[in-house]
Amino acid sequence: MMRKSPIIITGGGQRLGLACAQALHEQGYKVIITYRRHREEINAIEASGIQCLQADFSTQNGVEAFIKKVLEDYDALGAIIHNASEWEAEKNCSDTKLLMEKMWQVHVFAPYRINLAFEGLLCAGFKDDGVADIIHMTDYVVEKGSDKHIAYAASKAGLANLTCSFAKRYSPCIKVNAIAPSLLMFHNSDNDDYRQKALNKSLLQKEPGEQEGVLAVKYVLESGYLTGRTLSLDGGRHLV
């Protein structure tokens, strides 16, 4: 169902977030993305008709400033897709206390506060369009943990748990689901050895690309009978 109320995608300035924003915009949705740091590409994204809001979710003040801006400018929302993320390993961090705080700030506190603050906007979107959604982008590591990214994995598990809690709180009006990718696309800096090891971790042994994530987002948005669930995009990795 096409919804008139806008869709917010956090961390939508690059990679999967941007691909989702562009795909939904092309479908006719009004799309708002957030980005942390301004880059030249943001100008082109705005010129295409996607609204771009600068927001830093790594601080509580940044989260509250973003909430204030949206509440001032909009009276309804069709969906919130929590895609903003931080990725850092313990071995690269001299202060693991700060690392854990940062991971939980971005992956748990920010979505928690935003979901609560925008309840009224989402309910208004449901009233206008007959549908409203929250989507949490989690991670495959929630299932198995990670010895190299412990704080990251723990915070994504926290976000996965928020999915169940908010699905209960906001039913039956607002659907709340999660999407948990493993490998979707490599970074240009990834070397051949790393790429092959990553491919070997799944049954399908391929790099599916950002469109696999876009299809998952579209499915969740279009489904009328899915809430409190996690859609896994892992190529059968759990069976290897």
Is 140 marked active-site? no
Helix (H, G, I), strand (E, B) or coil at 229: coil
Helix (H, G, I), strand (E, B) or coil at 79: strand
Question: 172 preceded by cis ω (within 30°)?
Answer: yes
CA dihedral angle for residue 19, residue 25, residue 30, residue 36, rounded to 10 degrees: 30
The candidate with the shortest Cα–Cα distance to 153, out of 87, 82, 218, 234, is 87
Decide: 104 and 59 in contact? Cβ < 8 Å: no
- Sequence-separated (6 or more) residues with CB below 8 Å from residue 114: 10, 63, 66, 67, 80, 82
The candidate with the shortest Cα–Cα distance to 32, out of 24, 44, 166, 91, is 24
Decide: 234 and 213 in contact? Cβ < 8 Å: no
User: How crowded is the C-beta side of 192, counted as CA atoms within 13 Å?
Assistant: 0
Q: How far apart are CA 181 and CA 9, in angstroms?
A: 16
* Active-site residue, selected from the candidate residues 152, 170, 219, 225: 152
Decide: 134 and 122 in contact? Cβ < 8 Å: yes
Which residues are known to be catalytic? 152
